[in-house]
Amino acid sequence: MSTETDARFWDRSSRKYAMGKIADQAGYERTLERTSALMKSSDRVLELGCGTGTTALRLASQVHSYLATDISTGMIAIAEEKHVADPLPGLTFRTATAEALTPEGVQFDVVLGFNYLHLVRDLPGTLSHIHALLAPEGLFISKTPCVGDMNPLIRLALLPAMRALGKAPYAGIFRAADLNQLIHAAGFDILAAESHATKGNDNRPYIVARKR
């Protein structure tokens, strides 16, 4: 298993993923509203794991520039199709990971990672890359499923079985407390940790962190 395997999984799943509905639309809207309030019109924004571009197309008009990236060329192709239908100046889509972007180029004022961190294979390394990509005192905003806090049957039985059958990608297993520690160790101060769920149990903390 590798990042190439992960990319192929999301390429195969991209069209089905694009047709799926957001499970908690009200919670998603709350996340967008909170994120919008944290961004300024002059900001240069990077989104990691943008999927088919839904969030990018909702937020990009509010900032100076917005680079939305994903590991999957299939996902980015769908995002580009949406962008053609609803063009926004300053919005760019690119197939890339955090590790593929170089901090020697433009530094970002805000990096977004929604439903992203549990999918990376080297979480400390990815957080270090994100830190390097941010301008001084830049914000890293994430909303991450913490599988370690979920029902043990999910992480011990269901998830391994689905991965063995090719029905699920790699997913890191950690608790919210572990994630907080890793974010802090990567050079961030956590400003807020919130729950945006409006139904069911929420194991996806919304975290706002500032680069030290």
Q: What value does the mean pLDDT take over residues 134-151?
A: 94
pLDDT of 106: 78
What's the average model confidence in pLDDT over 104-127? Answer: 94
How high is the pLDDT of residue 51? 97
What the chain holds in terms of domains, given with CATH numbers, is 3-211 (3.40.50.150)
Has residue 156 got a pLDDT over 70? no
Mean pLDDT within 103-122 = 92
State residue 169's pLDDT score: 81
Model pLDDT, residue 1: 58
% of the chain with per-residue pLDDT over 90:
79
Mean pLDDT of the residues in the chain: 92
Q: Using an 8 Å Cβ cutoff, are 45 and 112 in contact?
A: yes
pLDDT of residue 158: 66
**Structure confidence at residue 69 (pLDDT):** 98
**pLDDT confidence of residue 161:** 67
For residue 165, the model assigns a pLDDT of: 64
Q: Which residue has the higher pLDDT, 190 or 17?
A: 190
